[in-house]
Structure 1
Amino acid sequence: MKNNPIEKIRDLLAEPEARRKAAICAGLAAALAVGGAGIAIASNRPEPIDSTPSAVEKAGADDKEASGAESVAPADIAKICPTLTLDGQDVGAPADEVTVTTGKGRVLVTQRAGDDAAATVDSTARRSAALARSLDGCETGGKTIETVTWAAVDEGGNIQVAVTNSPATAPSGGTTAEVVNGSGGHVISDGVWNSDGVHDAGYEQNAGTVTDSTGGKIEAGAAPKADEGDKADPAEDGSAKADDSGAKADTKSDTKKNDSKGNAASQASGGTSGSSASGSAPAQSQKKWVPEQGHWETDYGQVWVPNVVYVRHERYWVVTPNGNVGPFDSKSAANAWVYNDMVNGGKGGSLLDDSYTTSEDQGHYEQQATGRHWVVDVAGHWE
Structure 2
Amino acid sequence: MKNNPIEKIRDLLAEPEARRKAAICAGLAAALAVGGAGIAIASNRPEPIDSTPSAVEKAGAESVAPADIAKICPTLTLDGQDVGAPADELTVTTGKGRVLVTQRAGDDAAATVDSTARRSAALARSLDGCETGGKTVEAVTWAAIDEGGNVEVAVTNFPSTAPSGGTTAEVVNGSGGHVISDGVWNSDGVHDSGYEQNAGTVTDSAGGKIEAGSKTEADEGDKKDPGKTDEAKADDSGGKADSKKNDSKGGAASQTSGGTSGSSASGSSPAQPQKKWVPEQGHWETDYGQVWVPNVVYVRHGRFICNACGATFDSKNGFYAHSDAMYAQGQNHDGYTDDSYTTSEDQGHYEQQATGKHWVVDVAGHWE
Task: Write the distance in 1 (CA, Å) between the matches of 2:339 and 2:46.
Answer: 111
Q: Show the counterpart of 1:217.
A: 209
Cα distance change of structure 1 residues 323 and 134 upon mapping to structure 2, 3 Å threshold: closer
Cα distance change of structure 1 residues 205 and 7 upon mapping to structure 2, 3 Å threshold: farther
Contact between 2:217 and 2:224, CA under 8 Å: does it hold in 1?
no
Q: CA deviation digits over 1:334-361, x for unaligned, max 9?
A: xxxxxxxxxx99xxxxxxx999999999
Task: Write the distance in 1 (CA, Å) between the matches of 2:52 and 2:345.
Answer: 96
Q: CA deviation digits over 1:19-62, x for unaligned, max 9?
A: 998788457515413325248999999999999999999999xx
In the TM superposition, residue 133 of structure 1 has moved relative to its aligned partner by 0.6
Cα distance change of structure 1 residues 158 and 203 upon mapping to structure 2, 3 Å threshold: same
In the TM superposition, residue 330 of structure 1 has moved relative to its aligned partner by 52
Mapping 1:219-298, distance limit 5 Å:
219-226=211-218, 267=255
Q: Which moved more, 1:38-47 or 1:78-87?
A: 38-47
Q: Show the counterpart of 2:17.
A: 17
In the TM superposition, residue 226 of structure 1 has moved relative to its aligned partner by 3.0
Cα distance change of structure 1 residues 376 and 157 upon mapping to structure 2, 3 Å threshold: farther
Contact between 1:128 and 1:165, CA under 8 Å: does it hold in 2?
yes
Contact between 1:120 and 1:152, CA under 8 Å: does it hold in 2?
yes
Q: Show the counterpart of 2:148.
A: 156
User: Size of the alignment, in residue pairs?
Assistant: 347
Percent of aligned pairs with the same amino acid: 90
Cα distance change of structure 1 residues 215 and 368 upon mapping to structure 2, 3 Å threshold: same
In the TM superposition, residue 129 of structure 1 has moved relative to its aligned partner by 0.5
Q: Show the counterpart of 1:101.
A: 93
Contact between 1:177 and 1:202, CA under 8 Å: does it hold in 2?
yes
Q: Which is greater in Rg?
A: 1
Q: C-alpha root-mean-square deviation of aligned residues, in Å?
A: 16.7
Q: CA deviation digits over 1:148-193, x for unaligned, max 9?
A: 0000000000000000001111111111100000000000000000
Cα distance change of structure 1 residues 357 and 96 upon mapping to structure 2, 3 Å threshold: closer
SS of the aligned residue for 1:53 comes to: coil
Task: Write the distance in 2 (CA, Å) between the matches of 1:360 and 1:174.
Answer: 37
Q: CA deviation digits over 1:2-26, x for unaligned, max 9?
A: 9999999999999999999878845
Contact between 1:299 and 1:370, CA under 8 Å: does it hold in 2?
yes
Task: Write the distance in 1 (CA, Å) between the matches of 2:310 and 2:293.
Answer: 43
Cα distance change of structure 1 residues 271 and 105 upon mapping to structure 2, 3 Å threshold: closer
Cα distance change of structure 1 residues 44 and 24 upon mapping to structure 2, 3 Å threshold: closer
Q: Show the counterpart of 1:308.
A: 296
Task: Write the distance in 1 (CA, Å) between the matches of 2:299 and 2:47.
Answer: 102
Task: Write the distance in 1 (CA, Å) between the matches of 2:54 and 2:310.
Answer: 121
In the TM superposition, residue 121 of structure 1 has moved relative to its aligned partner by 0.4
Contact between 1:41 and 1:268, CA under 8 Å: does it hold in 2?
no
Q: CA deviation digits over 1:47-101, x for unaligned, max 9?
A: 99999999999999xxxxxxxx331110010010000111221110000000000
Cα distance change of structure 1 residues 86 and 371 upon mapping to structure 2, 3 Å threshold: closer
* TM-score under structure 2 length normalisation: 0.52
Q: CA deviation digits over 1:217-242, x for unaligned, max 9?
A: 00000101237999999999999999
Gaps of 5+ in 1: 61-68, 317-321, 332-343, 346-352
Contact between 1:91 and 1:127, CA under 8 Å: does it hold in 2?
yes
Contact between 1:41 and 1:232, CA under 8 Å: does it hold in 2?
no
